Structure 1
Amino acid sequence: MASTSDIRNGLCIKYSHDIFSVVEFQHVKPGKGNAFVRTKLKSLTSGKVLDNTFPAGHKIEVVRVERRNFQYLYKDDMGLHFMDQENFEQIRLQEELVPAIGLLKEGAIVEVLFNTEDDSPLTMDMPQYLVLEVTYTEPGLKGDTATNAMKPATVETGAEIRVPLFINEGDKIKIDTASASYVERAKQ
Protein backbone atom coordinates (compact mmCIF):
# COMPACT_ATOMS: atom_id res chain seq x y z
CA MET A 1 0.00 0.00 0.00
CA ALA A 2 1.12 3.51 -0.79
CA SER A 3 -0.44 6.92 -0.41
CA THR A 4 -1.23 9.72 -2.84
CA SER A 5 2.16 11.32 -2.13
CA ASP A 6 3.73 8.41 -4.05
CA ILE A 7 1.75 9.06 -7.27
CA ARG A 8 3.91 9.81 -10.30
CA ASN A 9 3.58 9.46 -14.08
CA GLY A 10 3.78 5.85 -15.24
CA LEU A 11 2.83 4.38 -11.84
CA CYS A 12 0.45 1.43 -12.15
CA ILE A 13 -2.29 1.15 -9.54
CA LYS A 14 -5.26 -1.10 -8.85
CA TYR A 15 -8.42 1.00 -8.76
CA SER A 16 -12.07 0.11 -9.21
CA HIS A 17 -11.33 -3.59 -10.00
CA ASP A 18 -8.97 -2.69 -12.86
CA ILE A 19 -5.30 -1.82 -13.37
CA PHE A 20 -4.58 1.77 -14.37
CA SER A 21 -1.46 3.67 -15.34
CA VAL A 22 -1.10 7.28 -14.18
CA VAL A 23 -0.89 9.44 -17.31
CA GLU A 24 -0.67 12.76 -15.47
CA PHE A 25 -1.23 14.04 -11.96
CA GLN A 26 -1.35 17.30 -10.04
CA HIS A 27 -1.11 17.88 -6.28
CA VAL A 28 -3.55 20.67 -5.37
CA LYS A 29 -3.60 22.58 -2.08
CA PRO A 30 -6.49 25.04 -2.25
CA GLY A 31 -6.49 28.05 0.04
CA LYS A 32 -9.54 26.70 1.79
CA GLY A 33 -10.19 23.02 2.41
CA ASN A 34 -8.11 19.86 2.25
CA ALA A 35 -5.40 19.06 -0.31
CA PHE A 36 -6.11 16.53 -3.06
CA VAL A 37 -4.46 14.87 -6.05
CA ARG A 38 -6.09 15.26 -9.46
CA THR A 39 -5.14 12.41 -11.80
CA LYS A 40 -5.71 11.16 -15.33
CA LEU A 41 -5.66 7.35 -15.35
CA LYS A 42 -5.51 5.02 -18.36
CA SER A 43 -6.90 1.51 -18.06
CA LEU A 44 -4.36 -1.10 -19.14
CA THR A 45 -7.09 -3.58 -20.01
CA SER A 46 -9.53 -1.44 -21.99
CA GLY A 47 -7.46 1.66 -22.86
CA LYS A 48 -10.11 4.04 -21.52
CA VAL A 49 -8.89 7.27 -19.91
CA LEU A 50 -10.49 8.33 -16.65
CA ASP A 51 -10.20 11.56 -14.64
CA ASN A 52 -10.14 10.94 -10.90
CA THR A 53 -9.48 12.94 -7.75
CA PHE A 54 -7.96 11.35 -4.64
CA PRO A 55 -7.99 13.11 -1.25
CA ALA A 56 -4.49 13.78 0.17
CA GLY A 57 -3.20 10.80 2.15
CA HIS A 58 -5.63 8.36 0.48
CA LYS A 59 -4.23 4.82 0.34
CA ILE A 60 -3.66 3.37 -3.13
CA GLU A 61 -2.68 -0.14 -4.14
CA VAL A 62 0.42 -0.13 -6.34
CA VAL A 63 0.80 -2.89 -8.95
CA ARG A 64 4.34 -3.95 -9.75
CA VAL A 65 4.92 -4.18 -13.49
CA GLU A 66 7.84 -5.22 -15.63
CA ARG A 67 8.69 -4.16 -19.19
CA ARG A 68 10.27 -6.71 -21.52
CA ASN A 69 11.36 -6.50 -25.15
CA PHE A 70 9.73 -8.91 -27.58
CA GLN A 71 10.08 -9.55 -31.30
CA TYR A 72 6.91 -9.88 -33.38
CA LEU A 73 6.88 -13.24 -35.18
CA TYR A 74 3.53 -13.81 -36.90
CA LYS A 75 -0.25 -13.60 -36.68
CA ASP A 76 -2.70 -16.49 -36.92
CA ASP A 77 -6.28 -17.23 -35.82
CA MET A 78 -5.08 -17.69 -32.20
CA GLY A 79 -3.62 -14.18 -31.94
CA LEU A 80 -0.26 -12.49 -32.42
CA HIS A 81 2.90 -14.38 -31.50
CA PHE A 82 5.96 -12.71 -29.96
CA MET A 83 9.36 -14.01 -28.83
CA ASP A 84 11.19 -12.76 -25.72
CA GLN A 85 14.53 -11.18 -26.68
CA GLU A 86 16.35 -12.63 -23.62
CA ASN A 87 15.19 -16.21 -23.13
CA PHE A 88 13.50 -16.89 -26.52
CA GLU A 89 10.19 -17.93 -24.93
CA GLN A 90 7.12 -17.25 -27.02
CA ILE A 91 3.90 -15.59 -25.92
CA ARG A 92 0.59 -14.97 -27.65
CA LEU A 93 -1.32 -11.68 -27.34
CA GLN A 94 -4.87 -10.97 -28.37
CA GLU A 95 -5.40 -8.25 -30.98
CA GLU A 96 -7.12 -5.97 -28.41
CA LEU A 97 -3.80 -5.51 -26.56
CA VAL A 98 -1.93 -4.42 -29.68
CA PRO A 99 -2.17 -0.75 -30.73
CA ALA A 100 -1.68 0.21 -34.41
CA ILE A 101 -1.82 -3.43 -35.45
CA GLY A 102 -1.81 -2.51 -39.14
CA LEU A 103 1.69 -1.03 -38.81
CA LEU A 104 3.21 -4.05 -37.06
CA LYS A 105 5.86 -5.65 -39.27
CA GLU A 106 7.31 -9.12 -38.74
CA GLY A 107 10.58 -8.83 -36.84
CA ALA A 108 9.67 -5.52 -35.16
CA ILE A 109 10.81 -5.07 -31.56
CA VAL A 110 8.05 -4.05 -29.16
CA GLU A 111 7.78 -3.57 -25.39
CA VAL A 112 5.25 -5.67 -23.44
CA LEU A 113 4.13 -4.65 -19.94
CA PHE A 114 3.65 -7.59 -17.53
CA ASN A 115 1.94 -7.76 -14.14
CA THR A 116 4.64 -9.31 -11.91
CA GLU A 117 2.10 -10.92 -9.54
CA ASP A 118 0.75 -13.41 -12.08
CA ASP A 119 3.13 -12.76 -15.01
CA SER A 120 0.24 -11.84 -17.29
CA PRO A 121 0.68 -9.39 -20.18
CA LEU A 122 -1.19 -6.11 -19.61
CA THR A 123 -0.43 -4.02 -22.68
CA MET A 124 2.01 -3.60 -25.54
CA ASP A 125 3.84 -0.44 -26.59
CA MET A 126 4.93 0.06 -30.17
CA PRO A 127 8.10 2.01 -30.94
CA GLN A 128 7.32 5.71 -31.39
CA TYR A 129 8.37 5.63 -35.06
CA LEU A 130 8.57 2.87 -37.67
CA VAL A 131 10.23 2.95 -41.07
CA LEU A 132 8.16 1.16 -43.71
CA GLU A 133 8.37 0.89 -47.49
CA VAL A 134 5.58 2.23 -49.71
CA THR A 135 4.29 -0.64 -51.85
CA TYR A 136 1.60 1.23 -53.77
CA THR A 137 0.66 4.84 -54.38
CA GLU A 138 -0.36 6.93 -57.35
CA PRO A 139 2.65 8.59 -59.00
CA GLY A 140 3.31 12.20 -58.05
CA LEU A 141 3.75 14.96 -60.57
CA LYS A 142 6.86 17.07 -60.86
CA GLY A 143 6.41 20.35 -58.99
CA ASP A 144 3.76 18.99 -56.57
CA THR A 145 5.81 19.92 -53.50
CA ALA A 146 4.50 23.44 -52.93
CA THR A 147 1.13 22.51 -51.42
CA ASN A 148 0.33 20.40 -48.38
CA ALA A 149 -1.87 18.05 -50.41
CA MET A 150 -1.85 14.39 -49.38
CA LYS A 151 -2.63 11.14 -51.19
CA PRO A 152 -3.27 7.59 -49.96
CA ALA A 153 -0.38 5.12 -49.91
CA THR A 154 -0.18 1.45 -48.96
CA VAL A 155 2.87 0.38 -46.93
CA GLU A 156 4.48 -3.08 -46.76
CA THR A 157 2.28 -4.19 -43.83
CA GLY A 158 -0.88 -3.51 -45.84
CA ALA A 159 -1.89 -0.40 -43.87
CA GLU A 160 -3.00 2.66 -45.79
CA ILE A 161 -1.80 6.09 -44.67
CA ARG A 162 -1.84 9.59 -46.16
CA VAL A 163 1.47 10.84 -47.59
CA PRO A 164 2.59 13.98 -49.45
CA LEU A 165 2.30 13.99 -53.24
CA PHE A 166 6.07 13.61 -53.83
CA ILE A 167 6.24 10.13 -52.22
CA ASN A 168 6.55 7.28 -54.76
CA GLU A 169 6.45 3.48 -54.68
CA GLY A 170 9.61 2.01 -53.18
CA ASP A 171 10.27 5.04 -50.93
CA LYS A 172 10.86 4.31 -47.25
CA ILE A 173 8.89 6.59 -44.95
CA LYS A 174 8.94 7.26 -41.22
CA ILE A 175 5.53 6.77 -39.57
CA ASP A 176 4.34 7.95 -36.14
CA THR A 177 2.70 4.86 -34.60
CA ALA A 178 0.54 6.84 -32.14
CA SER A 179 -1.38 8.61 -34.90
CA ALA A 180 -0.53 6.28 -37.82
CA SER A 181 0.58 9.33 -39.78
CA TYR A 182 3.44 10.22 -42.11
CA VAL A 183 6.39 12.03 -40.47
CA GLU A 184 9.12 12.25 -43.11
CA ARG A 185 10.90 10.39 -45.87
CA ALA A 186 13.38 8.00 -44.24
CA LYS A 187 17.09 8.66 -44.68
CA GLN A 188 18.62 6.11 -47.03
Structure 2
Amino acid sequence: MISASDLKAGMTFVQDGKLIRVLEASHHKPGKGNTVMRMKLRDVRSGSTYDTTFRPEEKFEQAIIETKSVQYLYSQDDVAVFMDLETYEQYELPLDTIEQEMKYLLENMEVKIQFFGDEVIGVTLPTTVVLRVTETQPSIKGATVTGSGKPATMETGLVVNVPDFVEAEELLEINTQEGTYVKRAGK
Protein backbone atom coordinates (compact mmCIF):
# COMPACT_ATOMS: atom_id res chain seq x y z
CA MET A 1 0.00 0.00 0.00
CA ILE A 2 1.11 3.53 -0.76
CA SER A 3 -0.22 6.76 0.72
CA ALA A 4 -1.52 9.59 -1.46
CA SER A 5 1.28 11.88 -0.25
CA ASP A 6 3.84 9.46 -1.75
CA LEU A 7 2.24 9.33 -5.22
CA LYS A 8 4.32 11.05 -7.91
CA ALA A 9 3.84 11.68 -11.64
CA GLY A 10 4.34 8.46 -13.61
CA MET A 11 3.31 6.11 -10.78
CA THR A 12 0.41 3.69 -11.24
CA PHE A 13 -2.01 2.44 -8.60
CA VAL A 14 -5.26 0.46 -8.34
CA GLN A 15 -8.45 2.20 -7.16
CA ASP A 16 -11.86 0.50 -7.20
CA GLY A 17 -10.56 -2.13 -9.63
CA LYS A 18 -9.33 0.54 -12.06
CA LEU A 19 -5.70 0.96 -13.08
CA ILE A 20 -4.84 4.65 -12.56
CA ARG A 21 -1.68 6.52 -13.67
CA VAL A 22 -0.66 9.77 -11.97
CA LEU A 23 -0.04 12.54 -14.53
CA GLU A 24 0.49 15.39 -12.04
CA ALA A 25 0.58 15.51 -8.25
CA SER A 26 0.96 18.44 -5.86
CA HIS A 27 0.36 19.32 -2.21
CA HIS A 28 -2.24 22.03 -1.66
CA LYS A 29 -2.82 23.86 1.61
CA PRO A 30 -6.05 25.85 1.51
CA GLY A 31 -6.40 28.92 3.76
CA LYS A 32 -8.34 26.94 6.33
CA GLY A 33 -8.41 23.21 6.74
CA ASN A 34 -6.07 20.33 6.13
CA THR A 35 -3.57 19.78 3.35
CA VAL A 36 -4.89 17.88 0.33
CA MET A 37 -3.19 16.21 -2.63
CA ARG A 38 -4.32 17.63 -5.98
CA MET A 39 -3.90 15.09 -8.75
CA LYS A 40 -4.43 14.79 -12.46
CA LEU A 41 -5.05 11.11 -13.18
CA ARG A 42 -5.59 8.87 -16.21
CA ASP A 43 -7.56 5.64 -16.26
CA VAL A 44 -5.04 3.43 -18.09
CA ARG A 45 -7.64 1.14 -19.65
CA SER A 46 -10.20 3.72 -20.83
CA GLY A 47 -7.75 6.58 -21.46
CA SER A 48 -9.96 9.14 -19.70
CA THR A 49 -8.27 11.82 -17.59
CA TYR A 50 -9.66 13.66 -14.60
CA ASP A 51 -8.65 15.91 -11.72
CA THR A 52 -9.29 14.95 -8.10
CA THR A 53 -8.06 15.50 -4.56
CA PHE A 54 -7.10 13.01 -1.84
CA ARG A 55 -6.28 13.35 1.83
CA PRO A 56 -2.50 12.74 2.20
CA GLU A 57 -3.07 9.72 4.48
CA GLU A 58 -5.37 7.84 2.04
CA LYS A 59 -3.89 4.48 1.01
CA PHE A 60 -3.85 2.80 -2.41
CA GLU A 61 -2.56 -0.46 -3.80
CA GLN A 62 0.52 0.30 -5.89
CA ALA A 63 0.41 -1.44 -9.27
CA ILE A 64 3.47 -3.48 -10.23
CA ILE A 65 4.30 -2.53 -13.81
CA GLU A 66 6.80 -4.59 -15.79
CA THR A 67 8.39 -3.60 -19.10
CA LYS A 68 9.69 -5.55 -22.09
CA SER A 69 11.79 -4.40 -25.03
CA VAL A 70 9.82 -4.77 -28.24
CA GLN A 71 9.89 -3.64 -31.84
CA TYR A 72 7.01 -1.68 -33.35
CA LEU A 73 5.97 -3.57 -36.48
CA TYR A 74 2.92 -1.86 -37.96
CA SER A 75 -0.59 -0.57 -37.29
CA GLN A 76 -3.65 -2.02 -38.95
CA ASP A 77 -7.29 -1.07 -38.50
CA ASP A 78 -7.42 0.11 -34.87
CA VAL A 79 -4.44 -1.75 -33.36
CA ALA A 80 -0.66 -1.34 -33.26
CA VAL A 81 1.41 -4.54 -33.39
CA PHE A 82 4.64 -4.98 -31.43
CA MET A 83 7.04 -7.96 -31.34
CA ASP A 84 9.09 -9.19 -28.38
CA LEU A 85 12.76 -9.09 -29.42
CA GLU A 86 13.63 -12.30 -27.55
CA THR A 87 10.62 -14.61 -27.95
CA TYR A 88 9.18 -13.09 -31.18
CA GLU A 89 5.77 -13.08 -29.49
CA GLN A 90 3.47 -10.37 -30.84
CA TYR A 91 1.36 -7.95 -28.79
CA GLU A 92 -1.49 -5.76 -29.97
CA LEU A 93 -2.42 -2.42 -28.42
CA PRO A 94 -5.53 -0.41 -29.36
CA LEU A 95 -4.46 2.75 -31.21
CA ASP A 96 -6.78 4.96 -29.16
CA THR A 97 -4.87 4.09 -25.96
CA ILE A 98 -1.47 5.05 -27.43
CA GLU A 99 -2.57 7.95 -29.65
CA GLN A 100 0.14 10.35 -28.38
CA GLU A 101 2.93 7.75 -28.59
CA MET A 102 2.05 6.92 -32.23
CA LYS A 103 3.19 10.43 -33.24
CA TYR A 104 6.78 9.33 -32.48
CA LEU A 105 6.74 5.71 -33.69
CA LEU A 106 8.26 4.51 -36.96
CA GLU A 107 8.12 0.92 -38.19
CA ASN A 108 10.90 -1.28 -36.75
CA MET A 109 11.61 1.20 -33.92
CA GLU A 110 12.56 -0.34 -30.57
CA VAL A 111 10.45 0.74 -27.58
CA LYS A 112 9.31 -0.76 -24.29
CA ILE A 113 5.78 -1.91 -23.58
CA GLN A 114 4.31 -1.97 -20.09
CA PHE A 115 2.50 -4.90 -18.50
CA PHE A 116 0.21 -5.12 -15.50
CA GLY A 117 0.20 -8.86 -14.89
CA ASP A 118 -0.47 -10.32 -18.37
CA GLU A 119 -2.27 -7.19 -19.61
CA VAL A 120 -0.43 -4.85 -22.00
CA ILE A 121 -1.20 -1.33 -20.79
CA GLY A 122 1.09 1.10 -22.61
CA VAL A 123 4.24 2.08 -24.48
CA THR A 124 7.36 3.76 -23.09
CA LEU A 125 9.17 5.84 -25.70
CA PRO A 126 12.87 6.70 -25.69
CA THR A 127 13.61 10.26 -24.49
CA THR A 128 14.34 11.41 -28.05
CA VAL A 129 13.61 10.04 -31.53
CA VAL A 130 14.94 10.97 -34.97
CA LEU A 131 12.24 11.89 -37.50
CA ARG A 132 12.34 13.24 -41.06
CA VAL A 133 10.76 16.60 -41.92
CA THR A 134 8.20 16.04 -44.69
CA GLU A 135 6.86 19.58 -44.99
CA THR A 136 7.91 23.03 -43.83
CA GLN A 137 8.26 26.57 -45.17
CA PRO A 138 11.45 27.30 -47.13
CA SER A 139 14.45 28.16 -44.98
CA ILE A 140 15.36 31.80 -44.46
CA LYS A 141 18.89 32.84 -45.40
CA GLY A 142 20.85 34.05 -42.39
CA ALA A 143 18.33 32.57 -39.91
CA THR A 144 19.58 31.76 -36.44
CA VAL A 145 18.48 29.36 -33.74
CA THR A 146 17.10 32.21 -31.63
CA GLY A 147 14.35 33.15 -34.13
CA SER A 148 10.70 32.46 -33.35
CA GLY A 149 10.74 29.39 -35.58
CA LYS A 150 8.22 27.81 -37.93
CA PRO A 151 6.02 24.71 -37.91
CA ALA A 152 7.35 21.54 -39.53
CA THR A 153 5.40 18.35 -40.22
CA MET A 154 7.36 15.18 -39.44
CA GLU A 155 6.99 11.84 -41.26
CA THR A 156 4.65 10.54 -38.53
CA GLY A 157 2.30 13.53 -38.84
CA LEU A 158 3.65 15.24 -35.71
CA VAL A 159 3.91 19.04 -36.06
CA VAL A 160 6.89 20.60 -34.26
CA ASN A 161 8.08 24.21 -34.04
CA VAL A 162 11.60 24.28 -35.53
CA PRO A 163 14.23 26.99 -36.20
CA ASP A 164 13.90 28.96 -39.45
CA PHE A 165 16.97 27.31 -41.05
CA VAL A 166 15.45 23.78 -41.05
CA GLU A 167 14.49 22.44 -44.48
CA ALA A 168 12.27 19.60 -45.74
CA GLU A 169 13.86 16.11 -45.79
CA GLU A 170 16.19 16.91 -42.88
CA LEU A 171 16.41 14.49 -39.97
CA LEU A 172 15.70 16.09 -36.60
CA GLU A 173 16.02 14.85 -33.05
CA ILE A 174 12.69 15.36 -31.25
CA ASN A 175 12.07 15.24 -27.48
CA THR A 176 9.22 12.74 -26.92
CA GLN A 177 8.32 14.08 -23.46
CA GLU A 178 7.60 17.63 -24.65
CA GLY A 179 7.21 17.22 -28.42
CA THR A 180 9.96 19.76 -29.08
CA TYR A 181 12.89 20.16 -31.48
CA VAL A 182 16.26 19.25 -29.93
CA LYS A 183 18.79 19.40 -32.80
CA ARG A 184 19.56 18.41 -36.37
CA ALA A 185 20.41 14.77 -36.89
CA GLY A 186 21.58 14.94 -40.54
CA LYS A 187 19.96 14.46 -43.96
Distance (Å, rounded) in 1 between the aligned partners of 2:21 and 2:145: 43
Q: Which amino acid aligns with 1:130?
A: V
Report how many aligned residue pairs link the two structures: 182
**Contact 1:4 1:54 (C-alpha < 8 Å) held by counterparts:** no
Task: Note if 1:128 corresponds to 2:114.
Answer: no
Counterpart in 1 of 2:105?
A: 104
Distance change in 2, residues 1:17/1:144 (3 Å): same
Distance (Å, rounded) in 2 between the aligned partners of 1:184 and 1:139: 18
Question: Offset of 1:174 from its aligned partner?
Answer: 1.1
Q: Structure 2, unaligned stretches of length 5 or more?
A: none
Distance (Å, rounded) in 2 between the aligned partners of 1:127 and 1:17: 30
Distance change in 2, residues 1:3/1:125 (3 Å): closer
TM-score (norm 1): 0.77
Alignment of 1:1-188 (within 5 A): 2-4=1-3, 7-9=6-8, 10-22=10-22, 38=37, 40=39, 42-43=41-42, 44-45=44-45, 46=47, 48-54=49-55, 56=57, 58-98=58-98, 99-116=100-117, 119-145=118-144, 148-186=147-185
Q: Which amino acid aligns with 1:179?
A: E
TM-score (norm 2): 0.77
Distance (Å, rounded) in 2 between the aligned partners of 1:101 and 1:26: 29
Aligned-residue identity in percent: 31
Distance change in 2, residues 1:180/1:114 (3 Å): same
Distance (Å, rounded) in 2 between the aligned partners of 1:149 and 1:27: 35
Q: Structure 1, unaligned stretches of length 5 or more?
A: none
Q: Compare CA radii of gyration and give the structure with the larger one.
A: 1
Q: Which amino acid aligns with 2:153?
A: T
CA root-mean-square deviation:
3.2
Q: Which amino acid aligns with 1:182?
A: Y
**Contact 2:24 2:41 (C-alpha < 8 Å) held by counterparts:** no
Distance (Å, rounded) in 2 between the aligned partners of 1:152 and 1:25: 32
**Contact 2:26 2:38 (C-alpha < 8 Å) held by counterparts:** yes
Question: Offset of 1:25 from its aligned partner?
Answer: 5.7
Q: Which amino acid aligns with 2:110?
A: I
